Structure 1
Amino acid sequence: MRFTRSTIAALTSLLFATSLSAQSPGTTVEYQIEPGIHYLSDEVTSASEYAREKCRLDLYHPVGVKGFPTVVYYHGGGLTGGSRSIPTELKNRGWAVIGVSYRLSPVVKHPVYVEDAAAALAWTFKNIETYGGDPAKIFVTGISAGGYLTAMVGLDKSYLAKHDIDANRIAALIPVTGQMITHQTVRKEQGIEPSKFRPTIDQFAPLYHVRKDAPPTLCITGGWGVDMLMRAEENLYFVSMMKLVGHKDIRHIVIEGADHGRCGKECWPHVTKFIEQTLAGMRHP
């Protein structure tokens, strides 16, 4: 069969358009939001008005797609404030995104907020396949207090074990400017003062649970000396200890010159790149 020059040009344009459509997230995929899903049991939420209010998640997911990845996102706010959201930077990528809210101090005390974070993640593992997602492709991230929760549920396996889930099933952990020592709010609840400046490392510190078999991890912080409470230096110590115990896939990205707020705004290209790299490694082991 012979093709004219114009036919070849037309076919080339069609192939390019098809390739572009396949590579451009969100161009042909529809998304839906399932808001306010309770992730705790009816027994718990019916017994507590505060749990009924706070222990919810919003699920943003592709429609009519099978095997998509999911990103679970914990908001910041020092474990005393903040509200769940679906970060715009994670939308329209072919992924589901889950924004989690959890009970806060001082209404509750540690480790309730960590337990809530784990319960929301367990809900994801047990339910995402119903919506078309792949439970082997669940990523966890969060900023500030959310970064702390990310590290805690991923490193201390006891929280997910209560839901019969192995924390090593998490595809990757991406704590953003999170505390790796015991969180300052936990220290305050323990009566340690000044809680912001007197560091401790106990069972409520990600550093207490360093282990070589944890999921792939990317720590993102603001700049040396300018992120809140020397967060870059703190994360460097955590990453160093993880490497020391034999973890083979942990990285630390420092956004030079960025303070705490700026780090939260500028972290997303690093978050999405790490997710994409991890997914590519799953396809080509």
Structure 2
Amino acid sequence: MLFLRLLWQIPAGLFLVVIVFLFANEYATARPSRRTKDIAYVTTNAPGVDSERHLLDVYAPKKVANSTKLPVVVFIHGGNWTSGNKNLYSFIGRRLAKQGIVAVIINYQLAPAVLVPVMADDCAQAVRWTTQHIAEFGGDPNRIFMMGHSAGGGLAALLATDDRLFSKFGLAGNPVKGAILDDAAGLDMFDYLTKMEYPNDQQYLVPYGKDPAVWRTVSPMYYINDHTPPMLMYSGGRTYPSITSSSQRFHQLLLDHHVKHEYKVLPDKKHIAMVTQLFWQHNTIYQELLRFVGASN
């Protein structure tokens, strides 16, 4: 009986140890940073405003010299364009802030309430807010970089490549200085939805609709040109075949247009692991991101 009791206690004990470790780790990471939650990035009384989805959080280092302006990373979450929330990614905000970056983690509207073009507009408006207000948090509005995982990676790539997203909101030019794409999905949804090669592909008609012209409009593959900003691209060695294929084609187009970038496949990483690895501060992506954005830490 004693042996059986010990067997039951071990999982609970290990679980408690893991929970204590994670909370201690998060506390240690949080101490050097400050989080400003639930900032509305659109006028709150404007038509069509979603009180939950039109919000962002800012993570900034606590100790910054008054004259220092830090690089800014705007992170867009994934979730198949139908789910996800900025609150799940506080660990990314904390770790970026700890390493000398002002991080902006955003929400945006999701399907089926809206289609992807509206999501892209939301993200562009969050970046516009960032250009106007990030200096108040110690960030440099002239050094704004996009970052995203999965669906968020595709949106980040779109904001970096499609200047029209900003001109429609009154910005003279595209403020995005570069992008970090983490196992990005949706780089070429025109090709993907035209072919419908994989099981359950019909599900993506919910966020993208049934008009092929729309699929092309929100596919960053078709906006790459000689003026596209620099990029860091990562895909998992065991990610979805569609992400592998589109990432390779995106990489080749960047090469064709002589766009400064790096593309790396991380061995044995599956799609979800490509973002959960960012829990660890010394992850390869963070190390290269710091150099990419010009962070001093």
TM normalised by structure 2 equals: 0.74
> Partner of 1:245 in structure 2?
257
* Percent pairwise identity: 24
Sort the Cα spacing of 1:213 and 1:57 in 2 relative to 1 into closer, same or farther, 3 A: same
User: What's the counterpart of residue 53 of structure 1?
Assistant: 52
Contact 2:166 2:174 in 1 (8 A): no
The match for 2:188 is 181
Q: CA deviation at 1:147?
A: 0.3
Residue 246 of structure 1: SS of its match in structure 2? coil
> What residue ranges of structure 1 are gaps of 5+ in the alignment?
1-25, 193-197
User: Residues 143 and 128 (structure 1 numbering): CA distance in 2 closer, same or farther, change over 3 Å?
Assistant: same
Amino acid at match of 2:275: G
Post-superposition CA distance 1:113-156 (Å, at most 9, x none): 11111111111111111222111222210110110110011111
Structure 2 unpaired stretches of 5+: 1-27, 194-202
Question: Does 2:278 correspond to 1:261?
Answer: no
Alpha-carbon contact 1:139-1:173 (below 8 Å) kept: yes
Which residue among 37, 57, 77 is the counterpart of 1:75?
Answer: 77
Kindly indicate whether the alpha-carbon contact (under 8 Å) linking 1:168 and 1:214 is maintained by their aligned counterparts in 2.
Answer: no
Query: 1:233, 1:110 → 2: CA distance?
Result: 21
- Equivalenced residue count is 244
Maintained 8 Å contact 1:30/1:62: yes
In 2, distance between residues paired with 1:231 and 1:166?
33
1:4-41 superposed Cα distances (whole Å, 9 cap, x missing partner)? xxxxxxxxxxxxxxxxxxxxxx99x8422110000012
AA partner of residue 174 (structure 1): I
TM-score (norm 1): 0.77
Match of 1:191 among 194, 210, 216: 210
- Cα RMSD (Å) of the superposition? 2.7
Q: Which residue of 1 aligns with 2:44?
A: 42
Q: How far apart are the structure 1 equivalents of 2:173 and 2:239?
A: 29
SS for the counterpart of 2:57 is strand
The alpha-carbon deviation at position 190 of structure 1 amounts to 2.5
CA distance in 2, matches of 1:100, 1:32: 16
Please say which of residues 94-103 and 174-183 is displaced more in the overlay: 174-183
SS of alignment partner, residue 111 of structure 1: helix
In structure 2, distance between residues paired with 1:279 and 1:99: 17
- Contact 2:145–2:293 (8 Å) recurs in 1: no
Distance 1:257 1:111 in 2: 33
CA, structure 1 residues 167+205, in 2 after alignment: closer, same or farther (shift >3 Å)? farther
Task: Identify the range of structure 1 (264-273 vs 108-117) with the bigger mean alpha-carbon deviation.
Answer: 264-273
Q: Deviations over 1:184-230 (max 9, x none)?
A: 666444337xxxxx9x961210101111211110111111xx31243
Distance in 2 (alpha carbons) for counterparts of 1:81 and 1:39: 20
Residues of 1 paired with 2:233 and 2:181: CA distance?
Answer: 5
- Distance in 2, matches of 1:181 and 1:234, equals 7
1:219 counterpart residue number? 233
| Other-structure match for 2:122 | 116
1:167–1:105 CA distance, 2 compared to 1 (3 A)? farther
Structure 1 counterpart of 2:277, which letter?
E
1:74 and 1:167 map into 2 onto residues whose CA distance is 21
Partners of 1:272 and 1:244 lie apart in 2 by: 27
Q: Is the 8 A contact 2:61 2:101 kept in 1?
A: yes
Runs of 4+ in 1 over 6 A off after TM superposition: none
SS, match of residue 54 in structure 1: coil
1:37 to 1:156, Cα distance in 2 relative to 1, 3 A: same
Q: Which has the higher contact order (CA 8 A, sep 6+)?
A: 2
What residue number does 2:8 align with? none
Q: What is the aligned counterpart of 1:171 among 160, 177, 180?
A: 177
Deviation at 1:89, TM superposition (A): 3.6
> For the residues of structure 2 that align with 1:136 and 1:114, how far apart are their CA atoms?
21
1:153 aligns with 2:159: yes
Deviates more, 1:267-276 or 1:132-141: 267-276
Q: Which amino acid aligns with 2:250?
A: F
2:33 matched residue in structure 1: 31
Paired residue type of 1:205: S
